[in-house]
Structure 1
Amino acid sequence: MFRTLSAFLLAITLLTGCRPGRIYEEYHKFDKYTWERFDKVKFEIPVEDAGTEGDIVFTIRHITQYPYPNLPVNIILTTPSGEERILEKDIRLKDESDRFTGSVAGDLWDVEVTLWPGFYFHETGTYTVEFENLIPKMGIPGLVDIGLYVKKREKK
């Protein structure tokens, strides 16, 4: 089972590695499919062209055994000059009928949430986006990985 799942994850990663229009894409895999309570996950977005505009999208990959209907997270975006934008988000992973949402392949579920649509990167440098899970348990089981990507918006 583990070999099959690993091969599947590798294939998905290779197929989704270079998607058109994405100027940044990175994923953080969790050991033993568990996000420990006080482990913050940080992504660093390098920006070389001030004036770039893009959608900042959060991705979650989990297995069917994920025990909660949601994933509450605290998100801190920091610009190169130190300006912070804080967002608390309760991401619904199940609908009102207690069924998982998102796309599914076997036992894996993928959910995407646009955090900042049309975000304007007004300066060059490294933007950081840090995630902290807010479920009051020592570890959240059933999470394969979380990720972040930026899809460039074309100027009109």
Structure 2
Amino acid sequence: MTRLFPIVLLSVLFLSGCGHIDLYERTATLKGRVWRSSEKPTFRFDIKDTTVPYQLYVLFRHTAAYNFNNVWVSLSTTFPDGTSSKVQYELPLATNEKGWLGTGMSDVYEHRVALTPLGREFLFRKAGTYTFTLEQIMRENPLEGVLNVGLRVEKKRGG
């Protein structure tokens, strides 16, 4: 057993050297299991390293009562220099063939939907505080069955 420990330790260290580092993850809980278009959760975090790529995700948690295969969101970004931008995204949540695409337990489903296409890199160009605001822009308002929405930022490591 003692001979096995160094091998296991080195394997864990090697495997942790690849992939992503969690940098930021926050969610906002929505009252009454509904997301009104007037509710715009805001997420702030600091970026120090502008030389490495990042991956951005929207987190979306809902019940089986959610009636759509997707959700349209608007993501507003305020940069450290005070400038801002706004981008709309369609986030796929289900298909007719597979059902819900996220992970689920009982009647609750969680999705982590990448905003940066697979294989593409996102670089923060300036160090400082970034502010992201999520807004649902679906035709139906409010959206029933939504528990939480959030943002996740991962720093990509070489590997």
Q: TM-score range by the shorter chain?
A: 0.7 to 0.9
- In the alignment, which residue of structure 2 is the partner of 1:94? 94
Specify the structure having the higher radius of gyration (Cα).
2
Q: Does 1:140 align with 2:138?
A: no
- Distance in 2 of aligned mates of 1:87 and 1:68: 21
Map 1:49-68 onto structure 2 (within 5 A): 49-68=49-68
Higher strand share: 1
- Distance in 2 of aligned mates of 1:54 and 1:97: 31
Q: Does 1:152 align with 2:155?
A: yes
- In the alignment, which residue of structure 2 is the partner of 1:44? 44
Cα distance change of structure 1 residues 81 and 155 upon mapping to structure 2, 3 Å threshold: farther
Select the residue among 115, 131, 136 that pairs with 2:134: 131
Three-state SS of the structure 2 residue aligned to 1:121 is coil
Instruction: Work out whether residues 40 and 135 of structure 2, in 8 Å CA contact, stay in contact via their aligned partners in 1.
Output: yes
- Distance in 2 of aligned mates of 1:58 and 1:71: 11
Q: Which amino acid aligns with 1:120?
A: L
Q: Which amino acid aligns with 1:113?
A: V
Three-state SS of the structure 1 residue aligned to 2:129 is strand
- In the alignment, which residue of structure 2 is the partner of 1:120? 123
Cα distance change of structure 1 residues 61 and 148 upon mapping to structure 2, 3 Å threshold: same
Instruction: Work out whether residues 69 and 98 of structure 1, in 8 Å CA contact, stay in contact via their aligned partners in 2.
Output: no
- Distance in 2 of aligned mates of 1:101 and 1:120: 27
Cα distance change of structure 1 residues 100 and 141 upon mapping to structure 2, 3 Å threshold: same
Question: 1:137 Cα shift?
Answer: 3.0
* TM score, norm. by length of structure 1: 0.78
Unaligned runs of 5+ in 2: 1-19
* TM score, norm. by length of structure 2: 0.77
Q: Which amino acid aligns with 1:59?
A: L
Q: Which amino acid aligns with 2:102?
A: G
- Distance in 1 of aligned mates of 2:122 and 2:131: 13
- In the alignment, which residue of structure 1 is the partner of 2:108? 108
Instruction: Work out whether residues 59 and 148 of structure 1, in 8 Å CA contact, stay in contact via their aligned partners in 2.
Output: yes
Question: 1:98 Cα shift?
Answer: 7.6
